Amino acid sequence: METTFNDLIDNTDHDSEFYKIVLFLFYLDAVNKADHTWDEFAEELIYKNRFSSKNDILEELHKKATDATHMIAKGTVLYRARIFDKNIIDSFVKNYVFDPDKATGIDKDSIPRLNLKPKDVLPLVLATNPEAGFETIKKAYSIWKRKKFKGYNNLESGAPPKEYASAGRANPKYIPYLYLCEDEITPVYEVRPTIGQQVSVAKFKTTRDLRLYDLTLELNDKIDTPSCSVPSLYDSVGKHFSIPNTGDDFQYLPTQFLSEEIKNMGFDGLRFRSSLHNGGINIVLFSADYCKALSSNIVQVNNIKLEIDQPDVYHIESLSSEILNQSDEY
């Protein structure tokens, strides 16, 4: 009688190296199949059917909806960042040091008659009368420090107006969604600043309980032969939501399509991992009304740390039980 693969697996010692290698190969095969399904889905939307699809990914999205539901309570604090392209020193000097309603009786409108820019007047004040100038600046700084929005104001910190909304990972062009993060650092990474740039980081608070589709989980599929869990098509969807875009809007079409499907399923938004900040979580809300801006601060980027390593293929020759045991997690 011919021995089948299932017979071979059933009769193999589950603690043996061979069995662990089989599990590892099944794991790789599951990842490759899921990624291939995603590639077919993306190919269809970009080059064949822009507004419809019967790909297995749609069925998977609905099948995993209950397990992928993530609730956010009303009052939860979230964060959003924008590159700050204003001159904060000019603004501080002109609007606080020389604003008669806030700090001193000096008329700021008289400054241009001196052919000086606001930033040039600050050292002049100190040089003319150091003691009085310093007191004026201290008073102005005290007023400025109490300001809630030191970066962009509440409107500038939120989603752009629909006529200015460019295509994003989740939203089509002209349909603004609100992109947020669960911590203060991740949104700074997400705007991809250069060293020395300033970034306005705004704090938001949710105005209602929110139901999100969570793409950060590991919802593995179970197989009987060999008996193990392997990455599912859901896992591949979450991974591709986090892949950075190289700048072409058409690359967003698959994730935009799925975001619309998630919205039509009754979710208020979605949740996915940041590919730019390890451990960071991004949140997309389908309506800006679900959040209210509370404040904003300005941060300056002084360092961007990059760590590199060799991809897995470099380590194939050193496969061992220790490496293969990782497959038991799936």
Structure tokens at 18: 């061979």
Q: Are residues 77 and 197 in the same domain?
A: yes
56-63 helix and 17-47 helix, angle to the nearest 10 degrees? 110
pLDDT in tens, 33-65: 888 999 999 999 989 988 889 999 999 999 999
What pLDDT score was predicted for residue 285?
Answer: 98
- Measure the CA–CA gap between 130 and 111, rounded to whole angstroms: 19
What pLDDT score was predicted for residue 100?
Answer: 46
Residue 327 pLDDT > 50, yes or no?
no
Residue 102 pLDDT > 90, yes or no?
no
pTM of the model: 0.80
What pLDDT score was predicted for residue 5?
Answer: 46
Domain that holds residue 244: 5-85+152-329
54 alpha-carbon distance from chain centroid: 28
Higher pLDDT, 229 or 303: 303
- Measure the CA–CA gap between 64 and 17, rounded to whole angstroms: 33
Q: Give the residue-averaged pLDDT of 306-326.
A: 62
Q: How many CB atoms lie within 10 A of CB 131?
A: 8
Q: pLDDT grade, residue 211 (50/70/90)?
A: very high
Residue 80 pLDDT > 90, yes or no?
yes
Higher pLDDT, 103 or 206: 206
Q: Give the residue-averaged pLDDT of 255-262.
A: 96
Q: Are residues 107 and 190 in the same domain?
A: no
Q: Write down the mean pLDDT value for the chain.
A: 82
What pLDDT score was predicted for residue 28?
Answer: 73
Q: Are residues 284 and 311 in the same domain?
A: yes
Burial grade of 310 (CB within 10 A; 0-12, 13-18, 19 or more): exposed
Write down which residue in 145, 173, 188 finishes a domain: 145
Percent share of the chain, pLDDT over 70: 75
Q: Are residues 99 and 191 in the same domain?
A: no
Q: Are residues 53 and 198 in the same domain?
A: yes
Domain count, the chain: 2
Residue 262 pLDDT > 90, yes or no?
yes
What pLDDT score was predicted for residue 290?
Answer: 97
Write down which residue in 145, 175, 194 finishes a domain: 145
Q: Are residues 80 and 38 in the same domain?
A: yes
3-state SS class at 150: coil
pLDDT in tens, 152-185: 999 999 999 999 999 999 999 999 999 999 999 9
| Torsion angles phi and psi, residue 198, rounded to 5 | -100, 145
- Please state which of the ranges 62-71, 134-143, 295-304 shows the lowest mean pLDDT: 134-143
Q: pLDDT grade, residue 328 (50/70/90)?
A: very low
pLDDT in tens, 6-31: 555 566 565 667 666 666 776 677 77
Q: Give the residue-averaged pLDDT of 263-287.
A: 96
3-state SS class at 228: strand
Q: pLDDT grade, residue 315 (50/70/90)?
A: low
Q: Are residues 127 and 248 in the same domain?
A: no
Residue 326 pLDDT > 60, yes or no?
no
For the ranges 102-106, 282-286, 318-322, the maximum mean pLDDT occurs at 282-286
Q: Give the residue-averaged pLDDT of 118-135.
A: 71
Q: Give the residue-averaged pLDDT of 284-295.
A: 97
Please, are residues 270 and 170 in contact by the beta-carbon 8 Å criterion? yes
Q: Give the residue-averaged pLDDT of 106-125.
A: 60
Q: Are residues 195 and 58 in the same domain?
A: yes
Higher pLDDT, 294 or 229: 294
Q: How many CB atoms lie within 10 A of CB 295?
A: 16
Q: Are residues 80 and 94 in the same domain?
A: no
Q: Are residues 279 and 214 in the same domain?
A: yes
Write down which residue in 145, 168, 183 finishes a domain: 145
Q: Are residues 181 and 241 in the same domain?
A: yes
Write out the DSSP string of 152-184.
S-HHHHSPPPGGG----SS--TT---EEEESSS
CA nearest neighbour of 95 among 60, 43, 143, 24? 143
What pLDDT score was predicted for residue 289?
Answer: 95
Q: Are residues 297 and 245 in the same domain?
A: yes
What pLDDT score was predicted for residue 254?
Answer: 94
